């Protein structure tokens, strides 16, 4: 006697659906983790006590805190698109110190590099890590401050997407079985 529905395709579809549901649940967990991380960063942004600038790519614990560095010499200055403290779009002048530390010096409407040979810079540690000068240096204008609230947290959308995929797979499979049964 032949089974009413195909066994192997049914097992494969159900395995895919279970996997998609598991991925959706995992994304919901990531959402909670990201919300906690953003809350931690917002608390750090409210702490005005300066910290030592992180070296060698580390620094998750000091992001959005105030710091100071000595940029004794420059390796390069390059413009990157950015926003002023007043919301205007333009250029952020980003310096790379010989020590390897990247510093956003300030905002300008002009792409030309500023006259800056190095020195002590105070600012806020942003992801990268890089130091966002506050106050700006070299006659540049203030930049928009790094904002932990600007970090993406789209895990809920990803979870909904995975659940939708699972539901879609089930609907398509049921429709295929109905068509096969005719």
Could you say which DSSP state residue 151 is in? S
Q: Reduced to 3 states, what is the DSSP secondary structure of residue 148? A: helix
Tens digit of pLDDT for each residue in 82-121?
999 999 999 999 999 988 899 999 999 989 889 888 899 9
35: closest CA among 144, 154, 160?
A: 154
Q: Which run of H or E residues covers position 90?
A: strand 89-97
pTM for the structure as a whole: 0.74
Tens digit of pLDDT for each residue in 23-77?
999 999 999 999 998 998 888 888 888 888 887 656 677 889 999 999 988 888 9
Beta carbons within 10 angstroms of residue 148's beta carbon: 18
């Amino acid at each position: 006697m032949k089974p009413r529905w195909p066994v192997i395709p049914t097992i494969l579809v159900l395995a895919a659906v279970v996997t998609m549901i598991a991925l959706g649940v995992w994304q919901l967990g990531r959402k909670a983790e990201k919300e906690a991380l953003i809350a931690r960063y917002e608390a750090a942004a409210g702490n005005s006590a300066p910290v030592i600038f992180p070296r060698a790519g580390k620094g998750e614990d000091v992001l959005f805190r105030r710091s100071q560095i000595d940029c004794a010499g420059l390796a390069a200055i390059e413009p990157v698109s950015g926003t002023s403290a007043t919301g205007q779009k333009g250029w952020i002048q980003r310096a790379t110190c010989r020590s390897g530390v990247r510093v956003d010096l300030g905002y300008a409407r002009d792409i030309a590099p500023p006259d800056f040979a190095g020195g002590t810079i105070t600012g806020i540690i942003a992801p990268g890590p890089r130091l966002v000068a506050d106050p700006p240096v070299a006659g540049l204008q203030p930049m928009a401050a790094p904002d932990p609230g600007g970090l993406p947290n789209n895990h809920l959308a990803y979870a909904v997407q995975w659940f939708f995929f699972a539901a879609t797979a089930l609907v398509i499979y049921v429709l295929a079985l109905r068509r096969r049964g005719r």
